Amino acid sequence: MKRLIAAMVIALPMFGSAALAQETVKIGYIDPLSGGGASVGEGGLKTFQYLADELNAKGGILGKKVEIVPLDNKTNPQESLIQAQKAIDSGVRYITQGNGSSVAGALADFVTKYNERNPGKEVLYFNYAAVDPVLTNEKCSFWHFRWDANSDIKMEALTNYMKDQPSIKKVYLINQDYSFGQSVRTTARAMLSKKRSDIQIVGDELHPLLKITDFAPYIAKIKASGADTVVTGNWGQDIALLLKAAADAGLKVSWYTYYAGGAGGPTAIKQTGLNHQVFQITEGFANVAHKESQDFEKAFRAKVDLSLWYPRAVNEMRMFAAAADKAKSVDPVKVAQALEGMKFEVFNGGQGEMRKDDHQFFQPIYVSSFGDIPAGQFDEEKTGWGWKQVAKIDTAQTMLPTTCKMDRP
C-alpha cells in the first residue's frame, strides 16, 4: 500500500494557479456507489448534493458555486486512491469520504504525501464518518479533519449507558473484520470489563466486510450462547442483513449499535418486533427536540425521500463555508487554519468544536432507541417506528485525550 501511494503521488500531474481562480468549488465525494456499500454511499451522495444546493442558494462559498463530484471507490482502498487522483486531475482541492476506515487511512496517507510533494497545490480531506481512533491519534494529519465522533468516544458513551442497565448480563460482540470493527470489539471488551465486571462476554465474532449475504449461521451462534445483548459496529448491508436474520430467527435480545439507523436497518428492526430494544449512538437523529433541525429534516425528506443519516455532513459543509469566509479564501491551507479550533453551533443544537490538536470534532452525542413514537414525530422507512432519545452526552463529556503529534506546514 505504501509503495502504491508513493507511486501515485509522484505520478500526479502538476496544475497551475488557474485552479485557485476557478469559479466552482469542487468537492470530490469518494465513497461506494456500487457493491455492498452502495446503499449508504448513494444516501451520502444525495445528502451532500442537497447541502451543496443549500449553500448555492445562499450564494455558494465566497460567491463560488459548490459542486459535488461523485467518485465510486467500491469501498476499496486502492480504488479510492485512483479516484483521488482523478479528482485532483480535474481540479478538485477538497475530498470527502466516510464509509470505511481502511479507505480513510489510505486517503489520509495519500493526501499528506501529495501535499508534501506539491506545496501551493494542497488538497484537504474532510472525513464525515470513518471513525477508527488512529486517524486522529498516531496517524493524525494536518490535512485530515473528522466530523464524526471516533469509535472510542462512541463506545465510552454507549457503555456509560449500558452499565446502568441491570438486565444486561451476557453480551455477544459481532463486528466487521477490518480496523474499525476490530477497534469496536477491543474497546467494548475493555470498557465493559472496567465499568461492569459482572457482565459476561459470551461470544466475540469477526466476519468479512460487506461480503455476507445470509447471517443466519451467526444468529444461530448468538442464540446458542444465551446472550441477552448484542454489541455491534456493523454498517451498511451488514447491519441490515444481520437484523433481518435476527427477525427471521426470532432472536429476542437487546442491540447496542453504531449504525442501525442506516439503509434497511429500521425496516429490519420493525420485523424483529423489538420495540425500543435496539439502540444506537449518534450525533443526532430526526426527533431531537430542536426546531431548526426538524424543519431541515422535513424539507430534506420532501426533496430527497430519505431521512438524514448524517447530521455531521451538515456540520461539515456549513463549517467549510464558515472557515472559507473567515479565511476570505478557498485555498486549502487557509481553510484548514481557519477550521482549527473553530467553535460552531451544530445541526441538532449545542456547541461543537474542532480540536486543533488532532482535528477531531466534538459535539453533543445521543443514545436513542427505535420503536413506537408519538403521533407527529418522524418515523423511518415508513415503518411507523422512529428514534427516541434515552440519553444525551454534552460536548465537554465526549472529549477523550489524543496521542496526536501533528506536523503543520
Q: Tens digit of pLDDT for each residue in 322-356?
A: 999 999 999 999 999 999 999 999 999 999 999 99
Return the closest-CA partner of residue 22 out of 104, 109, 91, 125: 91
Distance CA 244, CA 239 (A): 8
Residues paired with 26 in a beta bridge: 67
List every span in the chain annotated with CATH 3.40.50.2300.
2-149+292-362, 152-282+365-397
Inform me whether the pLDDT recorded for 147 exceeds 90.
yes
- Give residue 21's pLDDT: 39
What is the value of pTM for the model shown? 0.92
Listed as own residue / partner, the contacts of 238-241 with beta carbons closer than 8 Å and 24 or more positions apart are 238/36, 238/176, 238/207, 238/209, 238/210, 238/212, 239/264, 239/265, 240/39, 240/264, 240/265, 240/267, 240/268, 241/212, 241/213, 241/214, 241/215, 241/268
Decide: helix, strand or coil at residue 175. Answer: strand
Segment 389-398 shows an average pLDDT of: 97
Measured CA to CA, the distance from residue 192 to residue 307 in angstroms comes to 32
Question: φ and ψ at 374, to 5 degrees?
Answer: -65, 155
Per CATH, the number for 2-149+292-362 is 3.40.50.2300
Which triple of cell numbers denotes residue 242? 444481520
CATH of segment(s) 152-282+365-397: 3.40.50.2300
Query: What is the predicted pLDDT for the residue at 23?
Result: 86
Question: Which residue type, as a one-letter code, is found at position 331?
Answer: D
Integer Cα distance of 302 and 380 in angstroms: 13
* pLDDT for the residue numbered 18: 39
Q: Going by DSSP bridges, is the β-strand pair 24-31/200-207 parallel, antiparallel, or unpaired? A: unpaired
Q: Is 388 helix (H, G, I), strand (E, B) or coil?
A: strand
pLDDT 10s digits, 308-322: 999 999 999 999 999
pLDDT digits (tens, 9 = 90+) for 165-217: 999 999 999 999 999 999 999 999 999 999 999 999 999 999 999 999 999 99
Q: How many CB atoms lie within 10 A of CB 13?
A: 8
